Amino acid sequence: ETGVTQTPRHLVMGMTNKKSLKCEQHLGHNAMYWYKQSAKKPLELMFVYSLEERVENNSVPSRFSPECPNSSHLFLHLHTLQPEDSALYLCASSSLGRYGYTFGSGTRLTVV
């Protein structure tokens, strides 16, 4: 375990479903990130939260909605997804000013 926990590990959802991905860290970090990892592509940064405030949204479709209720928890709410959204969704955290990210194991999402 890295200290960043993601649940669920696997998720299969229909295009009309609503689901949420959860990320939790107890490393004392104050920045959290959502990344999308698709086959044969670099990791794509989706959202950045710094001190619980969203500071970056990399042109992500509105069917993905992040939430950061406190510095230890990060959610990604999903609704009306498309099959091309199937991917591994990775959460990471870091301490501002210290640049290494700690990643969770990811949620493998399949949209059917």
Partner 1 sequence: GESVGLHLPTLSVQEGDNSIINCAYSNSASDYFIWYKQESGKGPQFIIDIRSNMDKRQGQRVTVLLNKTVKHLSLQIAATQPGDSAVYFCAEKKGGSEKLVFGKGTKLTVNP
Shortest Å, Cβ 24 to partner 1: 14
Instruction: Provide the residue count of the chain.
Output: 112
Binding flag, residue 87, partner 1 (CB under 8 A): no
Q: Are 90 and 64 in contact (CB under 8 A)?
A: no
Q: Which residues contact 41 (CB under 8 A, 6 or more apart)?
A: none
Gyration radius (Cα) of the chain, Å: 13
Residues from 4 through 63 that contact partner 1 (CB under 8 A): 4, 6, 31, 40-43, 45, 48, 50, 56
Binding flag, residue 82, partner 1 (CB under 8 A): no
Give Cα separations from 91 to 14, 15, 16, 26, 88 (angstroms).
Answer: 22, 22, 24, 13, 10
Shortest Å, Cβ 43 to partner 1: 4
Binding segment for partner 1 among 13-21, 61-69, 71-79, 96-104 (CB under 8 A)?
Answer: 96-104
Backbone φ and ψ for 3, nearest 5 degrees, come out as 105, -10
CB closer to partner 1, 16 vs 99: 99
The footprint of partner 1 (CB under 8 A) covers 2, 4, 6, 31, 40-43, 45, 48, 50, 56, 90, 92, 94, 96, 99-106
